[in-house]
Structure 1
Amino acid sequence: MLPPSKITIETLEDKECDSEMLNILQALKVKNYTIAFDDFILNKMNHVFLPLTDIVKVDWKNSTAENILALYELLPITTLSFLPNK
């Protein structure tokens, strides 16, 4: 098996952000895996995942300016990568 430093775990936009997913991502984060969210649009259900996130691939096409600003305000920009997607 490849070491965590060589793998990024990416969650897709069509996956439900529930407690099972949160538990899985927490377990992976403890093992030092990099966590990425694809086509991310901030909402009430997924904001709890942000402390676990290393890479946020923002869905610029479907995000509002307010949504993107909220992400910047919530996240530690010095340790987070923002990738425009689409």
Structure 2
Amino acid sequence: MSHETRELYRTSDRRQLALFASLARYERELITERVRSGVMAAQARGVKFGRQAPKQGTIETKLKAVRQLLADGTPAEAAEAVVCPARPCTAT
């Protein structure tokens, strides 16, 4: 057994580790509590969380553009790049 392993078998070392674990758990609970109360306060003030829903007009415009490109014989990947240039719209 190494020196560090033997030290963990001593009662005082186990008690100290248990104390640290207990304090860490308590701190996690406090953080969770503060976050939850902050979110509730923000929601009470009217703050919206999450991604904003796309505007219906934008969706319809993109669909029209993609349908037209596909009807003209453009490959699907190229049509996607036209309406979503920054990132892929579909999951691969």
Same fold by TM-score greater than 0.5: no
- Bigger strand fraction: 1
What's the TM-score bracket when you normalise by the shorter of the two chains? Answer: under 0.3
- Bigger helix fraction: 2
Q: Which structure has the larger Rg over C-alpha atoms?
A: 2
**TM-score, L = length of structure 1:** 0.24
Greater relative contact order (Cα 8 A, min sep 6): structure 1 or 2? 1
**TM-score, L = length of structure 2:** 0.23
